[in-house]
Structure formats: structure tokens, C-alpha cells
Amino acid sequence: MDFSISDKMQTILEMINEFVDKELIPLENEYLTKSRDGATFEKTIKEMQQKVKQMELWAPNHPEELGGMGLGLMEHALVSEALGRCTLGHLAFGCQAPDAGNIEILHKYGTDEQKETYLKPLVAGDIRSCFSMTEPDMPGSNPILLETTAEKDGDEYIINGHKWFTSSADGSKFAIVMAVTNPESESPYLNASMIIVPTDTPGFNLVRNIPVMGHAGGGYFSHGEVLYQSCRVPRANLLGPEGHGFVIAQDRLGPGRIHHCMRWIGICNRAFELMCKRAQDRMIAEGKNLASKQIVQAWIAECAAEIQGARLMVLHAGWLIDKVGTKDARVEIATAKFTVAKTMQKVLDTAIQIHGGLGMTNDTVLATLWSHERAARIYDGADEVHKVSVAKRILRKYGTR
């Protein structure tokens, strides 16, 4: 394994880190305290995105022919770590979920017309999109169980169903919807399809932005509840072969989890920096600070070790994907996913504890990171699902009883 970084990539990372520190983290403070959902915030984000484009750092993980940088999996993993230090990093650089995953799907499976209508403006940052799969009454960790249907009627699909946690639906121009199109299929893995639904289509109803940890959010940072009520779209809006929705979903999940995990490592790095500075600056007695306490020193040492271990685990999983493909790296991907999510939660909790009452306020980014990222142990497969999957694959090596 060789995790060395080329001179060119090192320069790119230095430029990104400098931009995050000087431009985005000050903007993040403004976002947290004053303009959370305002038009001023969106205007400022567009200004930041324009600066990134001028630096030729826009859309790092998307193909060059689409206006991106064309970085590989491991290169973008390192970029994701750098951008993860700020809540606005991925948004400012044009690689924010769910747009990033939708772009990958459209690039690989979209028709020429779909690419012209949806992919090009999405990569350019001119529009936003959402991904609509999770349902209130079905287990999110088992995407083959869906109640939403798309029935064929001539040249159209009629979509009916109830979705929630359709992230970024508020303000999106289109959704990629997972719906059952082939209920008669012998395999449950071949009964659903992905279909493009413009959000101005009659029957697409954004019910609300779901409050998460006390905040409903809006725009980029929203989680929509959506009702599809006799929502008609052309059958030409089908993505890939009919019945291959699950296959397409699995195709994007492995690399996507590597990017998520490296973003979480970036969050860990940010929280670690804040806890170390707080430990040094917070005086608790004459001439003594928090850093002088052995228990605080132990916390810092433990967090440093666990962050490094988690980071190497993700890099190894990414390296393995490049060598053997996603299918043969399932154990490493799943292990990294639940390990990094747990590590991030511990690091954030420790940072808040060291900050004391200050850590509970929005005067630092810690409370926001905690409330936003507690879901990491649930979305993209709950920890427990990944652990069971990993254990089953390991136990196969020792026979069955």
C-alpha cells in the first residue's frame, strides 16, 4: 500500500485548506449565527463558488469533460477530508451530497438528453437536485423494500408513494426517485427503478422540511418529506435499465461511503484542533490550564490515536476499491463506515466536554456538527446493519453450522 501524495495533489490540498481557513470558516460563523436560511447566505455561497471556479478547483471528483477536475477516488478522498473541516466546504466546491451522487449516476447511466437537461447544469452548479429513496414505513437500511410505485401508462410512469429524508428537496430542480416498476420480478433486487422527476411536476408535493435535532433547516441543508400523488413523468426519464434501481444504488454506495468517511475525518480534525486550543487557553486556576490535567491529556491522546486509526482504515478501503473493485472490498468499506462514524461521535463529544458550557452553544461549530452528524451512524446503513454484514462475511471463512 502506498498512500503517498504527488506534488500536484499536495499543492491542491494546500490551496483548498487555505481557502477553507480564510474564506469558508469565517462564513460558517456568519451562517450559524445570522443568515442560516436567508437569501444573503445563498448569494454569498454563489460568490464563494465563483472564486473556487476561478481557482480551477471546482467539482474535484467529476470528469474534466463536464467541467470538473477529474480526480480519482483516493485523490478526492483527500480533498473530502480537507473540505470536511468546514460545514460549507463541499457545498462551496461543487461536490455536496446528494448532487455528487446524482451526478455520478447521470454520468454513467443517463441518456444524451438527460445529460444535456440535468447533468450539465448540475455539474455547473446552476441547479440543485435531491435523491428520493427512504420511506417512513419501510426500513431505510433495506432498499429492496419499497412501497412507492411507478406504474406504466402508455409513454408515462404514474408515481405514487411517500418519501422522507429526501435531502435538499427544498429548492431542487429535480429528484431521482426509487420506485417499484417490476413487482412481478423473481428477484427483489430487480423490481425497482430510478426515475428523474422534475420537482415542478404536478403530484410532486414537498410536505415539509423535517426538523432534525430541533432544526428544520432549508435549502441546501434540508430533509424533505415528499408525497408523490399520481405524479406523471415520461418513461424517457428512466435512468438505466428498468428494474436496475438497486444495482445502480449499490454502484454508487461504495465510493460514496469512502468520501463520507473522509469528510468525517475532516470533522474529527476540526474538532480535535478546537479541543487542543481550548485545553491550552482555558485557565482553571492560577497558572494552570485544562491541558495540565492528566484526564484531559488522556482524552487528547485517545482521540489522536483513534482518528489516525480510522483515517488509515478508510485509506486502505479506498486503496482496495482501486485494486479489486467495490464488490470485493465490501467488508473493508462497511468496517470503515461504522468505525469512522463512531470515532467522529466520540471526538465531537470529547471536544464539547472540554469546552464545557461553551461547547453547547453556537459560539463554536461543535454543537452544529454534533446535531448534523449524529445521523452518520444511521444513514447509508445503520451501524448494526454493517456490523452484521461484516460478521457474516467473516464467519463464512470458518464454515457454516
* CATH 3.40.50.300 applies to domain 7-96: no
Four-residue CA torsion sign, 291, 294, 298, 304: positive
For residue 210, give the DSSP letter. Answer: P
If you write DSSP's letter for every residue of 321-365 in order, what string do you get? HHHH-SGGGHHHHHHHHHHHHHHHHHHHHHHHHHHGGGGGSTTSS
Q: Is 118 helix (H, G, I), strand (E, B) or coil?
A: helix
207 near 226, Cβ under 8 Å? yes
pLDDT value for 275:
98
- Quick one: fold of 129-243? Butyryl-CoA Dehydrogenase, subunit A; domain 2 (2.40.110)
Of 132, 153, 137, 114, the closest CA to residue 228 belongs to 132
Q: Residues of the chain whose pLDDT is less than 50?
A: 35
CATH code given to domain 247-396: 1.20.140.10
Could you give the residue ranges of the DSSP H alpha helices within 99-196?
Answer: 99-109, 112-114, 120-124
pLDDT value for 346:
98
pLDDT digits (tens, 9 = 90+) for 227-241: 999 999 999 999 999
State the chain's mean pLDDT as an integer.
93
pLDDT digits (tens, 9 = 90+) for 82-132: 999 999 999 999 999 999 999 999 999 999 999 999 999 999 999 999 999
Four-residue CA torsion sign, 37, 39, 40, 46: positive
230 near 160, Cβ under 8 Å? yes
pLDDT value for 145:
87
Question: CA–CA separation, 265 vs 338, rounded Å?
Answer: 13
pLDDT value for 33:
58
User: Residue written as cell 429492496?
Assistant: 144
pLDDT value for 310:
97
- Burial of residue 381 (CB within 10 Å: 0-12, 13-18, 19+) is buried
Residues in the chain: 401
Question: CA–CA separation, 200 vs 141, rounded Å?
Answer: 29
323 vs 73, 215, 328, CA distance in Å? Answer: 11, 42, 9
Q: What pTM does this model have?
A: 0.93
Question: CA–CA separation, 109 vs 103, rounded Å?
Answer: 10
351 near 359, Cβ under 8 Å? yes
Of 63, 70, 68, the closest CA to residue 94 belongs to 68
End-to-end CA distance of the chain: 36
268 near 307, Cβ under 8 Å? yes
> CA geometry: angle at 24 spanning 289 and 28, to 5°?
65
Cell numbers placing 238: 428512466
Q: Do domains 7-96 and 129-243 have the same CATH topology?
A: no
Domain range annotation of the chain: 7-96, 129-243, 247-396
Question: CA–CA separation, 218 vs 167, rounded Å?
Answer: 10
Cell numbers placing 3: 498512500
